[in-house]
Structure 1
Amino acid sequence: MAMTAYKYQAQALMRDYLISDPLVPYTSVLIGIVLCKMAYDSTRLLSSFYFKGYSSLTKIQRIEWNNRGMSSAHAVFITAVSLYLVVLTDLFSDRLKGPITFRNSIISTFALGVSVGYFITDLAMIFWLYPSLGGMEYVLHHTLSLVAIAYTMLSGEGQFYTYMVLISETTTPEINLRWFLDTAGLKKSSTYLVNGILMFVVWLVARIFLFLYIFYHIYLHYSQIVQMQAFGYYLTFLVPSVLFVMNTMWFVKILKGVKKTLAKWP
């Protein structure tokens, strides 16, 4: 009987607080921050147990190692949610009537809140250890992402374009694995080479071709975008444009790195 009572209390808590519409954004942000802490600590514990060289890393290297584990966990989560909502559900499908720019759900808002929690946590770490975890380009990228995601989470506007941009997070695990292998002294391994080629291909698809499709979609649905509030309207054009420029600059560096690695490979 006691277990049944606790079960009903837990269900009531979920219904009345955790997934209550007005509180979803704030609850999900807190959950996102907590999950980041859990991912950071899990990376530290697993690495110290399975990777013998972890203890020999410098303090800042261990912090960045754990931070990259945290960012990889967020990337896997938000990419999976983005693909699910954009591809597998009808939330943003043309089969539904009404402007695509105003569609949202509890799930889509909750996931964005978790992502906001991540960007708050990661941006705080970047400022705390600046510039060890990244320079101004990372600050600009995270600030733009945080503002855009927070706005669409709170307003419910433009969530489709936000999720389309977030699909590009699928490149993060490859970038982090490249750093892990380099730090572990495995830069000359076949895994490093394969990961570099994979990173190049995924980046080309998710951060170049996908963004070109986003611009094309914005062009086709401009009559719907213009109905958004002014701040959301400008974010829809500004954020993808700035990120696309940054993505292109990083892509050139990746291309040069791949060419350099292949040239040295026996």
Structure 2
Amino acid sequence: MLYRANHCNRTKYFLAYDLTRILSSFYFKGYSSLTKIQHVEWNNRGMSSAHAIFITAISLYLVISTDLFSDHLKGPITFRNSIISTFALGVSVGYFISDLAMIFWLYPSLGGMEYVLHHTLSLVAIAYTMLSGEGQFYTYMVLISETTTPEINLRWQAVEHVPFLVLTGLKKSSAYLVNGILMFIVWLVARILLFMYVFYHIYFHYSQVVQMHAFGYYLTFIVPSVLFVMNTMWFMKILKGVKKTLSKWS
């Protein structure tokens, strides 16, 4: 069943990957001038944005709009799950498997070892919580950080240093500046402050966390901690980039 689900997810990923290629060729004038590897980079980032929008929406819905992970319900929060929460994690598992395969296939064009580490940790944690049903609250809290992905993909340096906003002719527009500021704010909230809240929540719910299987218990501490360190390092680079951009516009 797991193999069929992942095969289905990978198939959907590559179909959506082709859809990104088709739409881009119609709507972005700079797309046709890209090299072959730049096409791959563009399409890959388009798909990562699509996944980010999907999983962020699901994460916010489950964490904020439903009572699935509410402290008002009886029973440990670490063992709560639903059909929707498990299904959405399955979609993310398929995405991370496919994207990790693309990274290895074209290494290091789509990212270096930091991306391999990020995707591997994410894949292991998401797959475990999907299969076991444990720790889904913390998984979804971390997945909310995917809300930064679309902003990063619009601005991040692609192959041969060609960002999306350059290819679409918007680098000198106010959209480029707004995107940089928005990226800084969203990253601060979703990848720094939110992770601090996750650590706070784990501390005050430790009696529930400790009831998890040993593998899930250690994942709960290791994965957010490693990702938080990586997020902080990337945040410092973003801060430097925002300062540089603001100096040019001042």
Classify the TM-score, shorter chain.
over 0.9
| CA distance in 1: counterparts of 2:200 and 2:142, whole angstroms | 13
Does residue 94 of structure 2 align to residue 110 of structure 1? Answer: no
Pick one of 185, 189, 202 that aligns with 1:205.
189
| CA distance in 2: counterparts of 1:125 and 1:185, whole angstroms | 27
Does residue 14 of structure 2 align to residue 29 of structure 1? Answer: no
User: Residues 28 and 108 from structure 1, CA distance in 2 versus in 1: closer, same or farther, beyond 3 angstroms?
Assistant: farther
Matches within 5 A, 1:174-253: 174-178=151-155, 179-253=163-237
8 Å CA contact 1:102–1:158 kept in 2: the answer is yes
Q: CA deviation at 1:26?
A: 5.1
8 Å CA contact 1:113–1:150 kept in 2: the answer is yes
Larger C-alpha radius of gyration, 1 or 2?
1
8 Å CA contact 2:30–2:167 kept in 1: the answer is no
Does residue 52 of structure 2 align to residue 75 of structure 1? Answer: yes
Q: CA deviation at 1:39?
A: 2.0
| CA distance in 2: counterparts of 1:185 and 1:136, whole angstroms | 31
8 Å CA contact 2:29–2:168 kept in 1: the answer is no
Does residue 123 of structure 2 align to residue 139 of structure 1? Answer: no
Q: CA deviation at 1:31?
A: 3.6
8 Å CA contact 1:151–1:232 kept in 2: the answer is yes
- Match for residue 142 of structure 2? 165
| CA distance in 1: counterparts of 2:5 and 2:74, whole angstroms | 28
- Match for residue 22 of structure 2? 45
| CA distance in 1: counterparts of 2:240 and 2:169, whole angstroms | 21
| CA distance in 2: counterparts of 1:219 and 1:176, whole angstroms | 34
SS at match of 1:52: coil
| CA distance in 2: counterparts of 1:54 and 1:124, whole angstroms | 24
Q: CA deviation at 1:27?
A: 5.1
Q: CA deviation at 1:30?
A: 3.4
Identify unmatched segments of 5+ residues in structure 1.
Answer: 1-22
Pick one of 106, 117, 137 that aligns with 1:129.
106
User: Residues 90 and 27 from structure 1, CA distance in 2 versus in 1: closer, same or farther, beyond 3 angstroms?
Assistant: farther
Q: CA deviation at 1:35?
A: 2.6
Does residue 33 of structure 2 align to residue 56 of structure 1? Answer: yes
TM-score normalised by L of structure 2: 0.94
Q: Which amino acid aligns with 1:136?
A: M
| CA distance in 2: counterparts of 1:60 and 1:175, whole angstroms | 19
8 Å CA contact 2:31–2:167 kept in 1: the answer is no
| CA distance in 1: counterparts of 2:113 and 2:130, whole angstroms | 25
Identify unmatched segments of 5+ residues in structure 2.
Answer: 156-162
SS at match of 2:108: coil
Q: CA deviation at 1:29?
A: 3.0
Q: Which amino acid aligns with 2:238?
A: I
1:44-91 per-position Cα deviation (integer Å, ceiling 9, x unaligned): 001101112211111111100000010000000000000111111111
| CA distance in 2: counterparts of 1:159 and 1:26, whole angstroms | 21
1:120-171 per-position Cα deviation (integer Å, ceiling 9, x unaligned): 0000000000000000000000000000000000111000000000000000
| CA distance in 2: counterparts of 1:52 and 1:188, whole angstroms | 16
| CA distance in 2: counterparts of 1:29 and 1:75, whole angstroms | 18
8 Å CA contact 1:28–1:111 kept in 2: the answer is no
8 Å CA contact 2:86–2:130 kept in 1: the answer is yes
Q: CA RMSD in A?
A: 1.2
Q: Which amino acid aligns with 1:132?
A: S
Q: Number of residue pairs matched?
A: 243
| CA distance in 2: counterparts of 1:55 and 1:29, whole angstroms | 32
